[in-house]
Amino acid sequence: MNSETHAVCLTVPAEPEYIDLVRLTLYGISSKLGFSYEEIEDMKVAVAEACNNAVVHAYEPGRPGKMNVRFERLNDGLRITVKDEGPSFDYEAKAQRAESLHEKTLHEINVGGLGIYLMQALMDDVEVRTGAGTEVTLTKRLIRSEEMV
């Protein structure tokens, strides 16, 4: 399957009020593909977190930026990519901190830094590329029940 013919791309300002537009687009696409309500809600949380990271961390306050969001239908699911053009960060250090939350209580966890952990918990695959901006790729596999086939 040619993924280019099965992709929807949005370019929106990196501002909080546009995250709902991304979530609505995700809902429309994922419900058409047959994802369950719970899977769609999980994806909406993960995608909102990726978008929120771009809104909060990618651009300096008062300097407009944008987010490019790509929804790509796969043979077995959906891939969502959120990309910004802001300065990069040390993903490995953040990911290691997220993994180390497993043994901690809620009182020991800082509010910031839960985003990567949350995305990893809700999605089947999470990739983060840094360099010229940050690109977060979230993949959710579609599990069809026998009665749907």
pLDDT tens per residue, range 30-76: 999 999 999 999 999 999 999 999 998 888 887 879 999 999 999 99
User: 44 vs 117, 124, 137, CA distance in Å?
Assistant: 15, 14, 14
Q: Give the separation between CA 58 and CA 16, rounded to whole angstroms.
A: 13
Q: Among 121, 6, 139, which Cα is nearest to 81's?
A: 139
**Residue 146 above 50 pLDDT?**
no
Average pLDDT of the residues in 109-133: 82
28 within a domain of the structure (yes/no): yes
In a domain, 149, yes or no: no
Q: Does the residue 93 lie in any domain?
A: yes
Q: What is the DSSP letter of 14?
A: S
Note if the pTM is more than 0.75.
Answer: yes
Q: State the CATH number of the domain containing residue 133.
A: 3.30.565.10
Position 25 in a domain: yes
Joined together, the tokens standing for residue 108 give 């020991």
